[in-house]
């Protein structure tokens, strides 16, 4: 049934593709489309009021709204306040939404029967095509230039073979900043990087800085593998921070949801690192030891459409094991529920998504490629 829903998603998108022709990026509903076309569709006034009442707090974008009991596209538009430039685009969005709603309903029926360990939900991302999801909400991108330039300060993490607790969560220790939102910028790599540095600085100093993703987006260059909203990789970002000899505080260098000119100065710095270490690929015991003794890990996963609709539980969609990693996240802990071991993962899609911005992945199975690319800063 779920495979049939996925086929319906692909078919509906293919049938509606002609409607995309002639639309510019400014016409898309997306996140930037909230309320920007007045009363073109219902909900615009709600969006305008929301936007007027929100500000970039502590250098972060406000989280998208939390949707409740969405039964149809009208509910979706009313609660999100999204606007669409043309009737053709609205038709496209409604088709994408309907296919995603069918996927949510089918998956949640399996959850109610006890054959799935996670729930999905209609959220603010439900009208995004897969191409838009990949462009706006992922951004993990490796390059030959980045691999070469990041060799200087890269080292292999050494297994300690020390006893560690059966469960651990850096949130309970106070070592994790609030969940952030990357907006329409493919900058997940920058959030994984700041989150890891924040956590490791906390472990060493007892102080938790809120660090600037925008500093990485603006100042990182393509010749070191960092392309702003067009993608990057956490290891290259660790190398960049090492060479820059610091990373700005988020409040002093706030997030813009786009690439801008570099404004970093040393007096803006809120943390420094001396290099970074990588976990041996697929070694989840080494991941566990590093998290329990050192701090959170910046890792890569394969993100697919069902992940954008995740609500709660241990995300065990087997389709997640069939693609290459494309999204950077932060692993902040681990635990066990009903005999199922899991990782606790901080995402950069806002607090209205998932378990207040987090999701859990099966542990011990390299699920979604979680153990293929993990690293941490040396502070």
- Looking only at the bridges linking them, the beta strands covering 269-271 and 118-120 are unpaired
Q: Find, among 135, 173, 118, 162, the residue nearest to 307 by Cα.
A: 118
Q: Report how far residue 357's alpha carbon sits from residue 375's, in angstroms, rounded to the nearest whole number.
A: 21
Query: Does 100 qualify as catalytic in the annotation?
Result: no
Question: Tokens standing for 79?
Answer: 């609660």
Looking only at the bridges linking them, the beta strands covering 297-301 and 247-248 are unpaired
The conformation of residue 158, written as its DSSP 8-state character, comes to P
Q: What are 267's two structure tokens? A: 């007096």
Catalytic residue among 188, 229, 320, 374: 188
Alpha-carbon span 220 to 43, nearest angstrom: 38
Element (H, E) at 49: helix 44-53
Residues 100, 153, 200, 327: which is the catalytic one? 327
Of 187, 214, 168, nearest in space to 331 by CA: 168
- The verdict on whether 188 is a catalytic residue reads yes
Q: Which of 36, 102, 326, 347 is catalytic?
A: 347
347 labelled catalytic: yes
Q: Are 116 and 107 in contact (CB under 8 A)?
A: yes
Q: Which two tokens stand for residue 6?
A: 């996925």
Q: Are 242 and 275 in contact (CB under 8 A)?
A: yes
Catalytic residues: 188, 327, 347
């Amino acid at each position: 049934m779920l495979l049939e829903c996925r086929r319906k998603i692909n078919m509906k998108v293919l049938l509606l593709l002609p409607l995309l022709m002639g639309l510019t990026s400014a016409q898309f509903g997306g996140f930037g489309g909230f309320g920007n076309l007045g009363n073109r569709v219902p909900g615009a006034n709600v969006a305008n009021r929301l936007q007027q009442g929100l500000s970039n707090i502590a250098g972060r974008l406000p989280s998208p709204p939390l949707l409740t009991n969405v039964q149809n596209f009208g509910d979706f538009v009313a609660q999100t306040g999204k606007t669409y430039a043309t009737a053709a685009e609205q038709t496209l969005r409604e088709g994408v939404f309907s296919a995603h709603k069918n996927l949510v309903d089918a998956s949640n029926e399996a959850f109610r029967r006890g054959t799935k360990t996670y729930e999905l939900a209609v959220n603010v991302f439900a009208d995004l095509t897969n191409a838009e999801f990949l462009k706006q909400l992922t951004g993990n991108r490796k390059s030959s230039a980045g691999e070469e330039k990041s060799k200087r300060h890269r080292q292999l993490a050494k297994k300690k073979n020390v006893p560690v607790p059966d469960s651990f969560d850096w949130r309970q220790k106070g070592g994790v900043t609030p969940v952030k939102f990357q907006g329409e910028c493919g900058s997940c790599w920058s959030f994984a990087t700041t989150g890891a540095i924040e956590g490791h600085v906390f472990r060493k100093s007892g102080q938790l800085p809120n660090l600037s993703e925008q500093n990485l987006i603006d100042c990182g260059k393509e010749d070191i593998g960092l392309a702003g909203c067009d993608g990057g990789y956490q290891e290259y970002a660790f190398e960049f921070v090492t060479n820059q000899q610091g990373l700005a505080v988020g409040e002093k260098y706030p997030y813009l949801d786009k690439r801008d000119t570099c404004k970093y100065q040393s007096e803006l710095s809120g943390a420094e690192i001396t290099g970074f270490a990588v976990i041996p690929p697929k070694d989840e015991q080494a991941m566990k030891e590093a998290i329990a003794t050192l701090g959170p890990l910046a890792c890569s996963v394969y993100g697919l459409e069902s992940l954008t609709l995740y609500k709660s539980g241990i995300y065990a969609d087997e389709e997640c094991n069939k693609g290459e990693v494309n999204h950077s996240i932060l692993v902040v802990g681990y635990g066990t529920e009903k005999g199922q071991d899991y990782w606790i993962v901080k995402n950069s899609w806002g607090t209205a998504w998932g378990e207040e911005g987090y999701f859990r992945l099966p542990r011990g199975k390299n699920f979604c490629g979680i153990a293929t690319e993990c690293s941490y800063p040396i502070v």
